[in-house]
Amino acid sequence: MNNTDWKILIYLREERSINKVAKRLFMTQPSLTYRLSQMEKEIGCPLFIRTNKGVHFTDAGNRLYSFAEKELQQYQDMKNYVTHEPNSISGVLRIGASESFAQSYIPKILKGFLSNYNDVEISLTTDTSDHLVKLLKKEDIHLAIVRGNQDWPDTDILLEDAPLYLISAHTIDYKTLIKEPAIRYRSDPSLDEIRDKWWRHNFSDSPQSMLTVSDCFTCVEIVNQGLGYSLVPADILPKCMPHINREPVYDNHHRPLMRPSHLLYKQAMTQSTPVKIFIDYVKKYFEV
């Protein structure tokens, strides 16, 4: 097996589609299908499960995938070492980022990073912070940038602490706020806990109505239309329309409620050059 085979395995894990992988590798679909069959013959056991929802790996396929990733990165690290040119660094970098962080920061971060290391191939996964931690534990991603304080046993770097803001199209008055619909976006349990504590500190009754949406930017758009209020991190405020009222929120000791962002990864992953340089870039970006 060769480097092309390693790429096939890595891309297939990302895409779950033979057709999409064939396009990425400039191959025909029949030739890629034939190569997958040859891999199974060479290894001597089934590696792939083909379903209506795409291609999945068997247990043996997952083990081969882990090996392929290491082999390909070692080859690319060797090329980087031999050429000894900073801009020649290449490889696959699988990043996870919470949806709100991704939309606020990731475009600028990737633009700056790829302008220096344009041979690094980025795979970005956005999800809730708690689910990203699960992906990180399984090594489906190399690193994760999450919101809130997550349960993570390895390297955890605080990038920033963003204050939470109450936003509403109406004048913010705690006496009448309870009559407005509460707009919440899908997130991890740590944000739910912050929102619930803030509510209990300020109100004795439950919210009259609540609307839960999939992401923070849909939430902000609903608030922009005057359909309710929400709590969002400060970096989301630029998405609010000018007429939206906003004010910081506090705990029962009058301390600002904060929503931290953390960079999480396994220390062993820094053996990969693209992972290491991206971590260094993010730390420099946030001056930590």
pLDDT above 80 (res 218): yes
135/262 same-domain check: yes
What pLDDT score was predicted for residue 107? 95
Distance (Å, whole) CA 15 – CA 107: 21
What pLDDT score was predicted for residue 133? 95
pLDDT above 70 (res 80): no
Residue 119 is part of which domain span? 89-159+258-284
Distance (Å, whole) CA 66 – CA 64: 5
What is the Rg, in whole angstroms, of the alpha carbon atoms belonging to the chain?
A: 23
What pLDDT score was predicted for residue 3? 82
How many other CB atoms are there within 10 angstroms of residue 220's CB atom? 24
142/194 same-domain check: no
132/67 same-domain check: no
CATH number for the domain spanning 206: value is 3.40.190.290
pLDDT-above-70 percentage for the chain: 96
Contacts of 139 (CB under 8 A, 6+ apart): 66, 266, 269
1/141 same-domain check: no
Q: At what angle do helices 273-285 and 59-83 cross, to 10 degrees?
A: 70
Distance (Å, whole) CA 93 – CA 38: 27
CATH number for the domain spanning 114: value is 3.40.190.10
Q: Closest by alpha carbon to 32, among 63, 60, 66, 5?
A: 5
61/186 same-domain check: no
CA distances from 73 to 81, 92, 110, 245 (A): 12, 8, 20, 49
pLDDT above 60 (res 85): no
pLDDT above 90 (res 223): yes
Domain closes at, from 54, 81, 108: 81
154/231 same-domain check: no
Domain closes at, from 29, 64, 81: 81
pLDDT tens digit sequence for 164-205: 999 999 999 998 898 889 999 988 888 989 999 999 999 988
Distance (Å, whole) CA 156 – CA 168: 34
Helix (H) or strand (E) holding 156: strand 155-168
Q: How far is CA 288 from the centre of its chain?
A: 20
154/270 same-domain check: yes
**Greatest pairwise CA separation for the chain in angstroms:** 71
51/185 same-domain check: no
pLDDT above 80 (res 135): yes
Number of domains in the chain: 3
- Give the model's confidence band at 84: pLDDT under 50 very low, under 70 low, under 90 confident, else very high: low
Report the SS3 class of residue 75. helix
222/114 same-domain check: no
pLDDT above 70 (res 86): no
Distance (Å, whole) CA 277 – CA 288: 15
153/166 same-domain check: no
- Give the model's confidence band at 119: pLDDT under 50 very low, under 70 low, under 90 confident, else very high: confident
Domain closes at, from 62, 81, 100: 81
Residue 207 gets which letter from DSSP?
P
pLDDT above 80 (res 87): no
61/132 same-domain check: no
- Provide the whole-model pTM: 0.72
94/203 same-domain check: no
